[in-house]
Structure 1
Amino acid sequence: MFNDTLIDNTVWILRKAFKSNKAQIWKALEKEFSRSRSNRRQVNIQRLDKITNNGDIVVVPGKILGNGTLGHKLTVYAYSFSETAISKLNTAGAEVISLQSLISKYPDGKGVKIIG
């Protein structure tokens, strides 16, 4: 499900972001991605809809699954997405961004929420 090489790359990117920006969120995410494979998070669209508001910026340190519907726009990064989740996020007008884009747009991590 999760590729160890990609996880290592993700951890490296987060470590670099923490060192250059001194934002604790990148260190917290590095710790999340360093957890064992069996402890990585899976979040359904329905949960995102319940605990987020229009315009929120969220990170899921795991996989987003497609159960439920999303009734507002988000900016979201996750390690992986199910095909159904991508479709539902696009339908809701959510912006799915890469980790590099997330760090570039929000280097200090202000307003970014970790969900899972």
Structure 2
Amino acid sequence: MASDLRKASTKNDAPIWRKLAEYALKPSIARRDINVNRISQLTKENDTVVFPGKVLGTGNISHKITLCSFSISNSAAAKVVENGGKIISYLELIKQNPTGKG
């Protein structure tokens, strides 16, 4: 994953992919966790969320989002999909938005 992110950063001159590659190389104990409830508070309908850690299922989400994270619990994935959202991989996100902007 980190090598793909670094390649995308160099190819597309996109610093976001380089920063995510740095996070990917950190030990899992040093990565952050976030709950679905917090994502719901910080986002709006149809936002794309990139989180370099694990998404946990505590709380609810009230709107549709596109979520990309290093890891996601089964309950969090179910809550995102139930509200019409989708979960995508980093490779899919790079294909959709190579420059990481917007």
Shared fold by TM > 0.5? yes
Residue 59 of structure 1 is matched in structure 2 by 50
Q: For structure 2, list consecutive stretches of 5 or more residues without a partner in the other structure.
A: none
Q: Which of 60, 67, 70 in structure 2 is aligned with 1:69? A: 60
- Map 1:33-52; keep pairs closer than 5 Å: 33-52=24-43
Paired with 2:90 and 2:24, the residues of 1 have a C-alpha distance of 12
Residue 81 of structure 1 is matched in structure 2 by 72
Aligned to 2:37, what secondary structure does the other structure show? helix
TM-score normalised by L of structure 1: 0.84
Aligned to 1:53, what secondary structure does the other structure show? coil
Paired with 1:29 and 1:98, the residues of 2 have a C-alpha distance of 13
Tell me the matched-pair count.
Answer: 102
TM-score normalised by L of structure 2: 0.94
Amino acid at match of 1:108: T
Share of identical aligned residues, percent? 38
After superposing on structure 2, the runs of 4+ consecutive aligned residues of structure 1 that deviate more than 2 Å are none
Alpha-carbon offset, residue 36 of structure 1: 2.6
Residue 87 of structure 2 is matched in structure 1 by 96
Paired with 1:106 and 1:55, the residues of 2 have a C-alpha distance of 15
Q: For structure 1, list consecutive stretches of 5 or more residues without a partner in the other structure.
A: 1-9, 112-116
